[in-house]
Each structure stands twice: as C-alpha cells, then as structure tokens.
Amino acid sequence: MRLLLLLAFIALPLIGNSQIKDGPKPFGKEDKPSFFVDPLIFRGKDSTGARLDLYLQIQLGNLMFKRNLETEKFEALVEYTVLIKDSKEQIAVNATYPEKFIAGDVDLKTLASSTEFRVKQFYLPPDIYKLEFIFRDKNNKQETTKELPLIVKDFKSKELTASSIMILTDYKEEEGKKKITPLISSNIGELRDLFIFYEIYNNSDISIPTTIVYKIIGDRDAVLKEGTFSYLLTQGTNQKIEKLSGYDYTTGTYSLEISSKGIDYILTERTFDYKWDNIPMNIKDLDAAISQMLYIAEPDQIDFIKSATTNAEKERRFMKFWKDNDPNPNTVKNETMEEYYRRVRIATERYSQYVEGWRTDMGMVYIIYGDPSNIERHPFNSDSRPYEVWDYYDINKQFVFVDYTGFGDYRLVTPIWDKRFKVR
C-alpha cells in the first residue's frame, strides 16, 4: 500500500515533464554520456602491424534534437574526430565523421533508450600511441574529449601473442556460426553472463598445446578469481570465446589478465567496471540510499536489503526493489527511482539543519508529495512562533510546520495519519 500511494504522487510531475520541446535535451541529463568508445587491437594483414577496431556507441537519448521546420522532423547533428599520435607526437590518424540522426514525433518517445553503433578501422605499425576521441553535439555546441593510451605490439615478436580482449553483451551460436556483440561501455553491471572474445596468435611452425590462465584483479592488486583454459593452438590465428563465471562482483573497477603457463609475460589484459547503469548520479553511498527508502519501502523490505551478507547481494536486492517497481520496465530509465532520489537530493539541500534534510518533516513531505502548489511563510509574527503552510491543491492536502525552537527546525503540526510514515 505504501508503495502504490507514493508512486502515484511521484508520477505527477513526470507527466508534465514528458512533453517534447525544442531546445534542451528532451531526454537524459547533462551528466550522462553521449557516447562510449572502446579501441580493440588485433593482428593486421601483414602479421606484424595491427588493425585497430574502434567501437563507438552513441546514446541518442542524451543528444539534443531540434525540429527541422522544413521536414517537421527532429534532427540531432553530431561530429566525431579520431586523432592518433605516435610516440614522437607525429599524427598517424586524423579523421572526422559527421552524422545526422532523424526522428519523428513517434520515434522520440522511444529515443531515450536508443543507441547507434559504429566501427572504424585503422592500420598501425607497432608503437605506443595516444588516442584522442572528440565528440561534438552540434545542436548544443558541447564537445567532449576522451583520451586513451594505445599500445600496438609487434605480434610476431614472440611465440605466443594475443589481441585485445572484447567483452560481449551477447553470444549466440546459430547454424554453426558464432554471433557476438561487443560491450562498448566496459560496464558489466547489467550482464547476466560475462563472455569474452580474443585472439591468440601462434607464431611457431607447429601446433602448441597450452594452458591459458586468467585472473580477475580488484583493489590493491588482490586476485579475486583465477581459472584456466586448455587449448591446442594451431599455427596462426586462434579465435576464442570464453565464459567467466563464479565471482560475486561489487561496484568498482577490475582488471582481467590472460597469460600462458610456462611464459613470464602477460598475453593481454584490460579493465572493466561493475556498476548499475540506472542508479541516479547523486547516489554515491549504497547504505545511505537504502536508508533513504524510508518513505517508499516497508521496514521489512529495507531490513531485507540491509541483511544481505555481501555487498554484491545488497546491491542486487536494492536494484531488484526498484526494478520491480519500474513503471516502464522496457525502457532504460527507471523514472520512479530517478524522481525519488532527485527529491531526496533536493530535500537534503533545502532542509538540512541538525539532521539531514531528507530526515526532517519538511523533507519527508517534500519527498512524498513533491513541490507544494503554494507556500505561506510566517517567519516573524510577534504573536506566534515561525510557521509555514504548504498547500497541495491537486490532491486537496495542507501541511503546517512550526519552528518551536527558533533555529529553523520546522516540525509537522499534524502527523500524516498513515501507518506507513512514522513522524518524529
């Protein structure tokens, strides 16, 4: 009962905000990325140089779309530049790609979760490079630059060498063919299974039986999981797809190392992140976020989440609560979750005194009902203590707060008579 009633109040402002307008981004927030990029290096055509596959994922919902008055369509105009410099600061690649994305009124409704994928290929000799990827949203004149180190190995320098590691969002085998989809964001938080693809290059003249060792490394270089794969590596390129399972991840950054038993060097390695994509940006402390669910979850639900024996399980229970109460589960955004924690943030900013603002009576009412239709403030009446009256015309409710101490600690005069809320 608590959840259904509160969801109704949280949904009210979302209706008004869902209208499509020219100007600011119709979807997304300024702190959400417009793109992800993942450079992967494979052996090139001549076996010594390399092929750089630059994977790009464009988040259409975080671009600005403007209406074209001639076509009556909405358009997003972007441009991205790939700039690669070698170890001597000489330019090896300088390429710019303009793109236009077009949507009608109907298309805009699903745009928030829409993405476009691109792959750009470049051939490079062995060296240490610096990659700059510059992305421009031309409608709002915003430019974002991402710099990445790029080490191109000599793939013929040793008996065994390997490509970059590609993390997969999807892997299927259909009619004897393997179909893979790369994860470009490097965030495995939403993956059911962790699959990887990589190539091992056998530069000898014979097939080599080998045991490949992989390690997942966390904070302070702690080896969190280790496993092996046994291969018979034929001469030339050996493509491998493997499933890495059995570790309970928590939010953070991890490294994956792949080596071969009997050799003293790492064949290939990469980093990846584990985080929940749809947690609002203002959530920095999971334990605090769970406590802040006071006005939307039952006490036993909060206790259940807090009682998890590992941080990973706690995160899963937390996210399951919000996923179970997502009004639009088929979209990327969880509007209820985002609106709830937006109100928590604003309540903390507005009403913090001796306690955090979300814990105060004003914070509680604001989180449950949102902004009042009208506020009457009486801070200096000679015949009464300071007080405020909040009116919500659309739901026919009024709340009166009195500052009994004179230090801005406004208390609700009449408690919300509902077993869901415990007013101090």
Does residue 265 have a pLDDT over 70?
Answer: yes
Amino acid sitting at position 154? D
pLDDT tens-digit series, residues 109-140: 677 678 999 999 999 999 999 999 999 999 99
Confidence label for 105 from pLDDT (cuts 50, 70 and 90): low
What pLDDT is stored for residue 181 in this prediction?
94
Confidence label for 414 from pLDDT (cuts 50, 70 and 90): confident
- CA 401 to CA 410: how far, in whole Å? 5
pLDDT tens-digit series, residues 69-103: 998 899 999 999 999 999 999 999 999 999 999 98
Q: How many Cα atoms sit within 13 Å of 295 on the Cβ side?
A: 27
What are 14-20's contacts with CB under 8 Å, separation 24+? 14/335, 14/339, 20/74, 20/105, 20/108
Confidence label for 418 from pLDDT (cuts 50, 70 and 90): low
Strand partners, 173: 178
Q: Which fold has domain 158-275?
A: Immunoglobulin-like (2.60.40)
- Counting beta carbons within 10 angstroms of the beta carbon of residue 1, is it exposed (0 to 12), middle (13 to 18) or buried (19 or more)? exposed
- CA 88 to CA 94: how far, in whole Å? 15
Confidence label for 377 from pLDDT (cuts 50, 70 and 90): very high
87 φ, ψ (degrees, to nearest 5): -65, -20
- CA 284 to CA 287: how far, in whole Å? 9
- Both structure tokens of 334: 């969880």
Q: If you average pLDDT over residues 394-418, what whole number do you get? A: 87
**Least reliable range by pLDDT among 16-25, 114-123, 142-151:** 16-25
- Give the 3-state DSSP-derived string for the chain, with helices as H, strands as E and coil as C: CHHHHHHHHHHHHHHHHCCCCCCCCCCCCCCCCCEEEEEEEEECCCCCCEEEEEEEEEEHHHCCCEEECCCCEEEEEEEEEEEEECCCCCEEEEEEEEEEEEECHHHHCCHHHCEEEEEEEEEECCEEEEEEEEEEECCCCEEEEEEEEEEECCCCCCCEEECCCEEEEEEEEECCEEEEEECCCCECCCCCCEEEEEEEEECCCCCEEEEEEEEEECHHHCEEEEEEEEEEECCEEEEEEEEECCCCCCCEEEEEEEEECCCCCEEEEEEEEECCCCCCCCCCCHHHHHHHHHHCCCHHHHHHHHCCCCHHHHHHHHHHHHHHCCCCCCCCCCHHHHHHHHHHHHHHHHHCCCCCHHHCHHHHHHHHHCCCCEEEEECCCCCCCCEEEEEEHHHCEEEEEEECCCCCCEEECCCCCCCCCCCC
pLDDT tens-digit series, residues 167-186: 999 898 888 888 999 999 99
Confidence label for 307 from pLDDT (cuts 50, 70 and 90): very high
Residue 161 or 31, more confident: 161
Does residue 155 have a pLDDT over 50?
Answer: yes
Contact 258, 226 (CB under 8 A): no
Q: If you average pLDDT over residues 54-68, what whole number do you get? A: 94
What pLDDT is stored for residue 402 in this prediction?
95
- CA 239 to CA 243: how far, in whole Å? 14
Amino acid sitting at position 68? N
What pLDDT is stored for residue 272 in this prediction?
95
pLDDT tens-digit series, residues 338-368: 899 999 999 999 999 889 999 999 999 999 9
Contact 13, 340 (CB under 8 A): no
What pLDDT is stored for residue 332 in this prediction?
63
Does residue 253 have a pLDDT over 70?
Answer: yes
Percent of the chain having pLDDT more than 70? 87
pLDDT tens-digit series, residues 218-237: 988 999 999 999 999 999 99
CA atoms 284, 286, 292, 295: torsion sign: positive
Q: CATH number for the 32-154 domain, one of 3.40.50.450, 2.60.40.3880, 3.90.1150.10, 2.40.40.20?
A: 2.60.40.3880
Q: If you average pLDDT over residues 248-275, what whole number do you get? A: 91
Percent of the chain having pLDDT more than 90? 64
- Counting beta carbons within 10 angstroms of the beta carbon of residue 130, is it exposed (0 to 12), middle (13 to 18) or buried (19 or more)? middle
What pLDDT is stored for residue 174 in this prediction?
84
Token pair 């209820």 in the structure block, residue = 336
Does residue 22 have a pLDDT over 60?
Answer: no
Contact 58, 36 (CB under 8 A): no
Confidence label for 15 from pLDDT (cuts 50, 70 and 90): very low
- Both structure tokens of 322: 């919000």
- CA 158 to CA 134: how far, in whole Å? 35
Instruction: Calculate the average pLDDT of the chain.
Output: 86
Does residue 239 have a pLDDT over 70?
Answer: yes
Structural domain spans, the chain: 32-154, 158-275, 286-412
Establish whether domains 32-154 and 158-275 are of one fold: yes
Confidence label for 380 from pLDDT (cuts 50, 70 and 90): confident
What pLDDT is stored for residue 19 in this prediction?
30
Confidence label for 106 from pLDDT (cuts 50, 70 and 90): low
